Amino acid sequence: MYNNGYLNFNLTKKKILPYIDLEQTTELALGKYWGQLDSKQKKIFERDIKNSLINDYVGVLADIEKWKDINISVDKNFVQIDNTATVRIIVSLEDNSANASVTLKLIKKNRWKLYDLEYQSISILDIERIGYDSKIKRQGIERLIEKMLSRS
């Protein structure tokens, strides 16, 4: 069982992470602090966001065992403005009439990539933004970077 979970986790990482624009997500999560960072510091925050996504969200997907029982449909009334799009998807289980709506926020640079996901009006980007803002206000950006470097 552990081995199968580990394989699902790695497969999920390989299938999902390439479609996430980590730089865009990180820049938006850091907001006004992004411009204060050099390229190395930006990469440190990108890695932190990536680890957060893997540990907090991708891991949940890896634990799903019955993918064949999940129905996913795309609302064709999506919004696209220039190189950004907001797409709503509906997720339901085969044997259940209840469904969940998930909103994907995408950006197109060389191809479409995800930079935010909202579920029940809760944005992953907003969660990261609030977390970074709180940490930076408490300990300063330099100290936060030092802590992130010591964890790697």
Identify residue 18 by its one-letter amino acid code: P
Backbone torsions φ then ψ of 110, nearest 5 degrees = -90, -20
**Strand stretches in the chain, DSSP E:** 70-74, 79-81, 84-93, 99-108, 112-119, 122-123
CATH of domain 2-151: 3.10.450.710
At 9 the pLDDT is 62
At 100 the pLDDT is 81
**pLDDT of 8-28, one tens digit each?**
566 667 778 889 999 999 999
Burial 50-60 (b: 16+ CB within 10 A, else e): bebbbeeebee
Instruction: Report residue 59 as tokens.
Output: 């891991």
Q: What mean pLDDT comes out for the span 96-121?
A: 89
**pLDDT of 36-84, one tens digit each?**
999 999 999 999 999 888 777 766 665 566 666 777 889 999 999 999 9
Burial 1-18 (b: 16+ CB within 10 A, else e): eeeeeeebbeebbeebee
**pLDDT of 83-106, one tens digit each?**
999 999 988 777 666 778 889 999
State pTM to two decimals.
0.81
The continuous run of DSSP H or E covering 53 comes out as helix 39-53
Q: What mean pLDDT comes out for the span 138-148?
A: 95
Domain coordinates in residue numbering, the chain: 2-151
